[in-house]
Structure 1
Amino acid sequence: MSTSPATETSQQPDRIREEDIARAKDLVGFYYPTTQREHFATATPDVLRNFARGYGDDNPLYTDAEYGAGTRWGSQIGAPMTGVAVNEALRADPLPAGRRRPSFRGIHVFVSGSSWEWFRPVFPGDRLYTFQGFENVEVKPSEFAGRSVIITRRHVRMNQRGEVVSIARVIAIHTDREKAKKTGKYDEIKPATYTAEDIAEIDEIYAAEGPRGAEPRYWEDVHIGDSLGKMVKGPLTGTDLILFHAGGYGFTPYAPSAARLGYQNRKRIPAFYVNNAQGVPDVAQRVHWDNEWAQSVGVPMAYDYGVLRDCWLSHYLTDWMGDDAWLLHQSSQMRKFNYVGDTHIFTGEIVGKRQDGPRRVVDVELRGTSQRGEVTCPATATIALPSRDTGPVPLPQVPEDIARTATEIYARHNQLGRNS
């Protein structure tokens, strides 16, 4: 059914162009504004609610405007990962002469991990803007696809006051779609099936879950070795992925579109569209819901987005920590695919307890484990908890260089707006 990786890859030209690698390397250390908007530009109460619900989070701090008014924040706020769905376009000057973003046409992209730092809440009415840059570009041999280009990007999100909300680092692996086919690496993986008893066991975990909410979890009351409990996500369905999109994720920069807008988008980025079995051009992004297309790029069935599991990890943490705490940092690795049909159990424990400047924090190790017994997404996090001695959690300071860059980019955005 499949040829060996060596035979398969040696007979095909490499679609990863040296020109794109050079362009990517030339952007290392250089920030440029994001000039495309996301699905949402303004964090309305509805946007905040629907984004959280899109990955299964019913925390009223994120979903109920009236509830939020009674918390220390005085308002509903956005879930930690809200920035992946809310972004307004920045006005910006063209890239300097000689600098161009790589196109990587015909290349498949896998997110293999990310790290996030959060500095202030997203409130209803906030507009978010992003600037980004490449931190590192590395070319490596790949068992899966001949060779790969691993790019670490930094995304800085700020609000309409030019205040930095979050900094995210995302590791993306770029591989040749054609060379990734038929390696045989995943031949042993079969779709998960469940009995009524299996579903009942999963439902028992769902029934026991829930956010801690208004009851403070004080730093003095937690100890190294404490468990954060258990959370379940799954079995993953196509419906889950549709709802995640409905919550706002997955539209930039490719902008999957319907009907005439889809035709116009196909003219804009034809390489993003690949004919399906019926001869119809459809988005390459459909690896997340189309088993046949997923198999054509070398995996056994459709799979999730890495950022969906990042949302699940943050959901696990925010349910445990309560309204008064603040998630400072989360870092994850996506070591295995999460296929449609898979179920994940999230567990974690306190591995450190310390003072960090004016804050009292705990360090957490956590992970999602699939029904195959595989840890697909190990992660670490740092959470600031309220203290009986020192009071509420002070929010962290933004690094000076990032704050300065944000001020400069946002000022230029406003200047270009006045001049237009």
Structure 2
Amino acid sequence: MTVTEAGPQAPAPQQRRLRTEIPGPASRELQERRGAAVAAGVSSVLPAYITSASGGLLTDADGNVLIDLGSGIAVTSVGHSAPAVVDRVRKQACWFTHTCFMVTPYEGYVEVCEALAELTPGDHAKKSVLFNSGAEAVENAVKIARVATGRQAVVVFDHAYHGRTNLTMALTAKSVPYKHGFGPFAPEVYRVPGSYPYRDGLSGEEAARIAIDRIAKQIGGDQVAAVVIEPIQGEGGFIEPAPGFLPALSRWCTENGVVFVADEVQTGFCRTGEWFASSHEEVVPDLVATAKGIAGGLPLAAVTGRAELLDAVAPGGLGGTYGGNPIACAAALGSIETMRAENLADSARRVEHTVLPRLRALAEETGIIGDVRGRGAMLAAEFVKPGTNEPDAAATQRVVKTCHAAGVVVLTCGTYGNVVRLLPPLSLSNDLLDEGLSVLEYAVRLEASR
């Protein structure tokens, strides 16, 4: 019998429970097996091997039940094993698992594209194409923009993260671990300053003027195919631009015939308290790239946007063998159904209203958190050395390890490795959210007392 077979398989009760240290002996045994079989380049935040998950909880091979404040990096927004997702997936798997939409199509793909046309910002005519991952979506958005405009240059921003393919590595700002040693990268990618209010102190309009001036001087607006931006930067540190930054960029794109691409891979599908983060400032992107929370845990991604842009690519120019897999489409329809039925955008706002005051009070109390920021259920605390704004990655890692040892999954991010990010399932109960936050508060106070 394997370790996984021996582990608990029944749905976990909705409460945290520790039976062993984390990781426990069964997880450590699996970690040894992994060392012999899995490439060293694949890392894991917490080597507690999961055997089942339900709602906002993860059960590991040792029977420990962990509160999940990471959602598989903003993927299981509707909760683990959401009933509507599971039911649709089960039915679809019984009907057929794959035909390839480019060979013999099926209704589920069309239904997902119809839903995306309805849900994404703007009331213009829209079309979509489906892929497997966020990186694929961003890369194809660039392809579409280049064909539609006849231009080549792509503008991205400091602290950006857009994926791990060759093109999206070029779009991504941080070298280690995402880019180091993997070059050469795709050409005609230009990086300009973004808006990082905690560190630059600029208004949105001021930051936008600097970015636009850099584009005009170093590239020329008439050479730019696309501006690609995360409405809230994810891996770069959950950086929320100052108000006015995104609208100013969007206006400049419209005036210069540039395609404005919103990378909503991490911010989309109710995560920030709106269906899409662009809507907080009424920005209507030309193209929207989505993935992560779209399908309740199954691999699916999309580019959605102005119909004339999508149709600029000749038949056969877009697609992929698994893009829009029927089971993933079924999961997406179940996920969207759940978000609507449970009003998960409102739930995300509930998380924000609960978490931000507590984190801000904690920052004031301890002096080791320089900034607290975010929207909805996409929230972060940036750790610094007391009395400065100097990033403190070591303290950040100690806080995270304390949380993990107590059975609460939190994640880090940031160019400087000094940000703790919270991405709980939008359906997480108030009790579990409160308990998880209490553990985080304990970890921060412990670090501040060092």
| Fold equivalence (TM over 0.5) | no
When you count helix as a share of all residues, which structure comes out higher? 2
Q: Name the TM-score, length of structure 1 as normaliser.
A: 0.27
Q: Name the TM-score, length of structure 2 as normaliser.
A: 0.25
When you count strand as a share of all residues, which structure comes out higher? 1
